[in-house]
Amino acid sequence: MRKISLSVMLLGFILVCQSLAAGPIRLNYANFPPASTFPCVQMERWKTEVQTRTGGKVEINTFPGGTLLGAKNMMDGVISGQADIGCLCMAYQPGRFVLTNASGLPLGIPDARTGSLALWDLYKKYSPEAFSKVRVLTMFTTAPANLMSRTPIRTLADIKGLDLRASGGAAEILRAWGANQVGMPMSATPEALQKGVVQGLFSSLEVLKDLAFAEQCKYVTMTNTVIYPFAVVMNMDRWNALPPDVQKVMDELAPEQSKWTGEYMDGHVRNAIEWSKKEHQVEFIELSADERKAWDGKLSPITEKWIEKHGKNSDFPAARIVEDIKTFIKKHNS
């Protein structure tokens, strides 16, 4: 009996030594935009939290700026294992993430905090097929999009035919207002603006500061219409190989990270607005009441058309999804 318990102890000792010798679990986390931008700020926060909460059991190496995977191959790169973890903007692949991209319809999400928590609820309720090959670590949204442009946009006549950049649900909105919408990821936008390929963009306003767009876009038209949804995903085999205590840390962090990112984004947008006024004399334009009515009028058919289009598939409860998003917005709108 004594012999057996001694050998059990010895075995335990060997296993502990082996795991210490093997060192921490190392995970590579890819991101597409520059390190200064909010998707990378949230990535660094998640890294610190995971490393701390697992007591150093996990070490995360981060790759901002498309150094490991780019905006468009993020999902497939994570599925195939080129990166263990990746952050992606779902709006850049509208047809791939139809259900979660419904959060990019003009449904009145007032801020990034509300948007992020509503998107997380939506994901949890439906577990969309688009994510069946990965583990979802969190989801969040931007703050509502506004127009940043080289020339002032005060009326629908001003935006007509203007080359403006947006993707996904926001792209459709630009088209409804009569702009010449140009699609590209945020990471390609600084060069496109510089070269005059586009005259402005439609996005959340923190990029005025983070990507220095305030230097080129001296006008912002406040529309506060739609958000862009994001997901952070992990390679399934890598996830399955993690010890249960590490998985638990990551699972518990998921909704918390969603809220943290939304709140960070909302605060940072406020900073960027003040900074752009002070440092770059950017003019912030509020639409007149008549204009606002005309602009909103152009958007009203978008959600109905989406329901009509996707509701044709009997497995896809399009109208229910829109109602759920509205309910989630109400629940989280403080």
Q: Of the candidates 228, 239, 295, 306, which one interacts with ligand DTR according to CB under 6 A?
A: 228
* Cα–Cα dist 124/296, whole Å: 31
Say whether residue 37 binds ligand DTR (CB under 6 A): yes
Say whether residue 138 binds ligand DTR (CB under 6 A): no
Residues written for the chain: 334
Please give the helix or strand (H or E) that residue 286 lies within, else none.
Answer: strand 283-286
Q: Which stretch binds ligand DTR (CB under 6 A): 11-19, 73-81, 201-209, 312-320?
A: 201-209
* Cα–Cα dist 330/114, whole Å: 9
Q: Which stretch binds ligand DTR (CB under 6 A): 73-81, 191-199, 200-208, 288-296?
A: 200-208
If 0-12 CB within 10 Å is exposed, 13-18 middle and 19+ buried, where does residue 278 land?
A: exposed
Shortest gap between Cβ of 21 and ligand DTR (angstroms)?
40
In sequence order, which residues have a C-beta less than 8 Å from that of residue 38 and are 6 or more positions away?
A: 142, 206, 210, 261, 264, 265, 268
Enumerate the β-bridge partners of residue 232: 87, 138
Say whether residue 167 binds ligand DTR (CB under 6 A): yes
Say whether residue 207 binds ligand DTR (CB under 6 A): yes
The 10 Å CB-count burial string (b at 16+, else e) for 118-141 is: bbbbbbeebebebbeebbbbbbbb
Shortest gap between Cβ of 196 and ligand DTR (angstroms)?
19
Identity of the residue, 31 or 235, whose beta carbon is nearer to ligand DTR in the bound complex: 31
Say whether residue 225 binds ligand DTR (CB under 6 A): no
Shortest gap between Cβ of 163 and ligand DTR (angstroms)?
15
Q: Of the candidates 27, 28, 38, 63, which one interacts with ligand DTR according to CB under 6 A?
A: 38
Shortest gap between Cβ of 142 and ligand DTR (angstroms)?
4
The DSSP output letter for 130 is G
Say whether residue 186 binds ligand DTR (CB under 6 A): yes
Shortest gap between Cβ of 200 and ligand DTR (angstroms)?
12
**Residues between 76 and 135 that touch ligand DTR (CB under 6 A):** 89
Shortest gap between Cβ of 221 and ligand DTR (angstroms)?
15
Number of residues interacting with ligand DTR: please give it, by CB under 6 A. Answer: 13
If 0-12 CB within 10 Å is exposed, 13-18 middle and 19+ buried, where does residue 24 land?
A: middle
Half-sphere exposure of 39 (CA within 13 A, CB side): 29
Identity of the residue, 29 or 228, whose beta carbon is nearer to ligand DTR in the bound complex: 228
57 contacts 25 by C-beta, under 8 angstroms: yes
Identity of the residue, 123 or 228, whose beta carbon is nearer to ligand DTR in the bound complex: 228
Identity of the residue, 89 or 98, whose beta carbon is nearer to ligand DTR in the bound complex: 89
Strand, helix or coil at 70?
coil
The DSSP output letter for 215 is G
In the complex, the residues that contact ligand DTR under the rule CB under 6 A are 33, 37-39, 89, 142, 145, 167, 186, 203-204, 207, 228
